[in-house]
Amino acid sequence: MLTAAYAMDPARYDRVYDRAARDRIERLATPLWGPRDEPAVRADPAALTDVDVLCTGWGAPVLSADLLDAAPRLRLVLYAAGSIRRIATDAFWDRGIPIVSAFHVNARPVAEFTVAQICYALKRGWQHVLAARTAGRALPRMRVPGAYGSTVGLLSLGAIGRMVAERLRVLDVTVLAHDPYVDPAVAADLGVTTVGLTELFERSDVLSVHTPLLPATRGLVGRDLLRAMPSGATLVNTSRGAVLDEPALVEVLTERPDLFAALDVTDPEPPVPGSPLFTLPNVVVTPHIAGSVDRECGRLGALVADELERYAAGEPLRWSVDRAAAARMA
């Protein structure tokens, strides 16, 4: 029988690896210890000696050469969260150990949240609420674009962007996207028209950001692109805060009160006390709630259990990630 250990943030452990997920995992792998976060694992690397399967999640240790040397039996890493870029080092990839990520199921609540924000933006829901609260009374309804005939722009068509596009099919909207890496045939199958970056911002009534944070994308959404947005447009960001040039965003929102921003991520996160993002009338900030939270985290542990069952049965892993794919993750 295999052996397993749980290496992640203990505060999130029970939500990710609930009793049902642990029962499934532990029918196939004897648990040796856990949960332990990165400092605890590094304080006792010898505990890795007999571990075959590492069940991880948020707060997992970086899989560095020294930890891998302490884990000679390690044959599978199961990551119950999204991007593995932080933990998967070159030393890890060089060992050829398979790693699974729950990025696909973690993308689902982000896509759901994003579509909700898009629909709300097309009704100018936030603007109605904030204006009435400021006035302290009911105000006449403002003109709204609505979904019918509007244009939604998606900045990148990774896992989340594609899920958003699929869910937008039920709306009477035109969907545009910019993603230099996507196959145009794939975009067409999603009902999406690919356009240049500037055109995406110029034409979108709502622009939703799904670009991973990479050196090339840091500050990608800057002053010129933001100023190119049409009157009354809304920017939604559920990706990473640093994809936006935040000082430029504040500047443009100040000079263009017709624009609106709904930000679930910021840079830094959370914003510093007194940030204009809390005081400008045309921006709202939510505390990074788009991804898996609370009960939704159980879906991540269930995916890990699914993959361990496939591995134990000698079947191909469904959600394994290779070095090239990991490099493109947020």
Of these residues, 15, 22, 24, 240, which one is catalytic? Answer: 240
Q: Note the pTM of the prediction, 2 decimals.
A: 0.92
Determine how β-strand 53-56 pairs with β-strand 76-79.
parallel
pLDDT at position 3: 98
pLDDT at position 163: 97
Which helix H or strand E contains 67, and what residues bound it? helix 65-69
Eight-state DSSP code of residue 200: H
- CA distances 126 to 41, 69, 156, 227, 283, Å, are 45, 53, 25, 21, 9
Rounded distance between C-alpha atoms, residue 225 and residue 10, angstroms:
42
Token pair 């679930």: residue: 264
Rounded distance between C-alpha atoms, residue 74 and residue 227, angstroms:
51
Long-range contacts, 247-253 (Cβ 8 Å, 24+): 248/222, 248/223, 249/221, 250/276, 250/277, 250/280, 251/223, 252/223, 252/226, 252/227, 253/280, 253/282, 253/283
pLDDT at position 13: 98
In the Cβ-directed half-sphere of 124, how many Cα atoms lie within 13 Å?
Answer: 20
Of these residues, 38, 166, 202, 269, which one is catalytic? Answer: 269
Active site residue 288: yes
Active site residue 240: yes
Active site residue 178: no
pLDDT at position 119: 98
Instruction: Please name each of the domains of the chain with its CATH number.
Output: 2-101+294-327 (3.40.50.720), 107-285 (3.40.50.720)
Rounded distance between C-alpha atoms, residue 169 and residue 199, angstroms:
21
Rounded distance between C-alpha atoms, residue 323 and residue 234, angstroms:
35
Beta bridge partners of 321: none
pLDDT at position 136: 97
Contact call for residues 234 and 262 (beta carbons, < 8 A): yes
Token pair 């029918």: residue: 27
pLDDT at position 25: 98
Eight-state DSSP code of residue 317: P
Q: Which amino acid is at 318?
A: R
Sign of the dihedral defined by the CA atoms of residues 313, 91, 102, 49, in that order? positive
Rounded distance between C-alpha atoms, residue 208 and residue 163, angstroms:
12
Closest C-alpha among 71, 103, 78 to residue 17: 78
In the Cβ-directed half-sphere of 6, how many Cα atoms lie within 13 Å?
Answer: 23
Give, rounded to a whole angstrom, the gap between the first and last alpha carbons of the chain: 35
- CA distances 259 to 90, 220, 240, Å, are 43, 18, 20
Contact call for residues 76 and 52 (beta carbons, < 8 A): yes
Low-confidence residues in the chain, pLDDT < 70: none
Of these residues, 288, 299, 310, 328, which one is catalytic? Answer: 288
pLDDT at position 327: 83
Token pair 């690397």: residue: 45
Which helix H or strand E contains 206, and what residues bound it? strand 206-209
Rounded distance between C-alpha atoms, residue 207 and residue 243, angstroms:
13
Rounded distance between C-alpha atoms, residue 20 and residue 27, angstroms:
11
